[in-house]
Chains A and B, each alone.
Chain A
Amino acid sequence: MSKQPSASPIDEVIRLAELAGLRFPEEDLELLAVALADHSRLVASMLESDVSELGSALTFDPRWRA
């Protein structure tokens, strides 16, 4: 089976915008693709961080115990 060519960074921006129901000005797409790539590099290590040991996201006001 032939491998599907990966989307270009600009196509990826367009796809993500469409998923959000948005259409951005053409002139923004190239620099936005660069910004998205920069952001992905910035968060790469964070995304690999194991947060499975974290407790519940919910906290309860102690006054509920009264």
Chain B
Amino acid sequence: MPDLNVLTIRSAGELLAARELSAVELVEAALERLELTEPSVHAYVHIDGDGAIASAKQLDERDPSGPLHGIPVGIKDVIATHDLPTEAGSRLLAGHRPAADAEVVARLRAAGAVVIGKHVTHEFACGQDDPPTRNPWDLVRYPGGSSAGGGVSVQVGSSLLALGTDAGGSVRKPACVTATVGLKATHGRISGSGTLRCASAPSLDHVGTFTRTVEDCAITLSVLAGFDPADARSIDEPVPEYRESLDAGIEGFRIGVAPAAFSEEISQAEVWALFEDALRELERQGASLVEVELPSFEHALAAAFTILPTEVSTPHHRWVVEQPDSYHARTRRLLELGMILPTAQLQQAYSIRRAIAADVQRTFCDAGLDVLVTPTLPVVPPRLGEMIPGDFGSLIPFTVPFNLTGQPALSVPCGFTDRGLPAGLQIVGHPFGEATVLRVGHAYEQATAWHRRRPALVTAAA
């Protein structure tokens, strides 16, 4: 039985290619891990063990070919799957079965991935209700937002890859608080067709990935990236082989830090200390730190909190009026707020968004930056009982600006506090600069061991 505490997509792929491991054995191991961990972490809402084993058997009948051959994956329950329900955590969509896979799911399957099940999400990914998912590092703490099931599952080994969506940080946040690798690529780089419109703010939303290593992230991005004519947001840009430049190092790189925009003042000291350790490691590897200012970013939260509820509420007008009791009350109120925000505020929010995009473009170009780095979250995952319902402003100030700008942003584990809680390093690149972002993340990861640490929940059982 493969050891799911150490396995990655790459290492599993090598074992599968050498016929030292079968797809069935790998999927069965993931299902066994799922059975062990689900009573504690509740990452999945729908599981198709029989279907997954049947798919794995078919894969074992032929030579491994696709880059994700036999890899067990989980999909956020807002992304369409033809063979499993897609309910977006909502009673309104109970039993909803899309006719076809989302483009990203189709690409994963074509690459040989085996879908184990659907991951828990907040109702319509709005972040307002209280889903059952728990953080494996401390079961009483925040697991990271609407894509939390993906981060949790990849960390505990009930999948080796997960898809989420990120409109304000909902891939990078769970990646940070579960100590996994989370990427939202450039807006338009990965198709969003097949993501439920009623659980999405289209101009902010990105389909993103959870993996255990940056290399696994690169392998996955090479599968998912590329033009999709079915998605009006998709951009037809060449797709590089993202693994090629991973090992090239970061000697001579210019790495931006913006201490005013992403400040120590709003960060917990233990998180900031880990961020500074990460900066020292990047410098040790030959990169230069360049201090930059991003003055327009002070309005990023205000702009995002205006655009996000407005965009996500649009398809809900009829349901909110006709079936109000089918919503969790806090989700409904967020949607109602989005329906009544004055147009003048929305207009200003879109103008500010343009100002932020211009600001960051100017800053990257003038300072010759390869990437910009920030802590992913300014705080450790809070205790669930101490969180103010719906208050995500304190959790996303470092992630949401890059939903407004559409830049690629990666979160990699950058240490654990004395209390054993993970922190993340966010690496932000030029539009379509994913290869550079991954190169920096990989260089950092190779010098650290944070990504190999597993919670007691699974190490005790091994």
Contacts and interface: CB of A to CB of B under 8 A. Distances in A.
Contacts of A36: 337, 340
B23 to A, nearest CB: 43
A1 interface: no
B109 interface: no
B345 interface: yes
By secondary structure, the B interface counts as helix
A29 to B, nearest CB: 9
A46 B355 CA distance: 11
A45 B333 contact: no
B301 interface: yes
A1 B317 CA distance: 40
Contacts of A16: 340, 342
Nearest to A18: B340
Interface string B262-300: 000000000000000000000000000000000000110
B309 to A, nearest CB: 8
Given A35-B333, A42-B302, A45-B302, A51 B340 contact: no
15 contacts: A22-B317, A22-B336, A28-B329, A28-B336, A35-B333, A39-B306, A42-B302, A42-B305, A43-B349, A46-B302, A47-B348, A51-B348, A54-B354, A55-B354, A57-B354
B66 interface: no
Interface of A: 13, 16-17, 19-20, 22-25, 27-28, 31-32, 35-36, 39, 42-43, 45-47, 49, 51, 54-55, 57
Contact of A17 (B339, B354, B358): B339
B449 interface: no
B299 A46 contact: yes
Interface string B136-155: 00000000000000000000
Contacts of B348: 43, 46-47, 49, 51
Nearest to A51: B351
Nearest to A42: B302
Contacts of A35: 333-334, 337
Contact of B302 (A28, A31, A43): A43
B345 A23 contact: no
A39 B305 contact: yes
B234 to A, nearest CB: 14
A32 B345 contact: no
B104 interface: no
B229 interface: no
Nearest to B298: A45
B21 interface: no
A51 to B, nearest CB: 4
Given A20-B340, A28-B333, A55 B320 contact: no
Interface residues of B, number: 32
Among all A-B residue pairs, the 8 with the closest Cβ atoms: A16-B340, A46-B302, A51-B351, A46-B299, A43-B302, A25-B324, A35-B337, A42-B302
A43 B374 CA distance: 24
A14 B70 CA distance: 55
Given A16-B340, A28-B329, A43-B302, 17 more contacts: A20-B340, A22-B340, A28-B332, A31-B333, A32-B333, A35-B333, A35-B334, A36-B337, A43-B305, A43-B306, A45-B299, A46-B302, A46-B348, A46-B349, A46-B352, A51-B355, A57-B351
Contacts of B351: 51, 54, 57
A49 B359 CA distance: 14
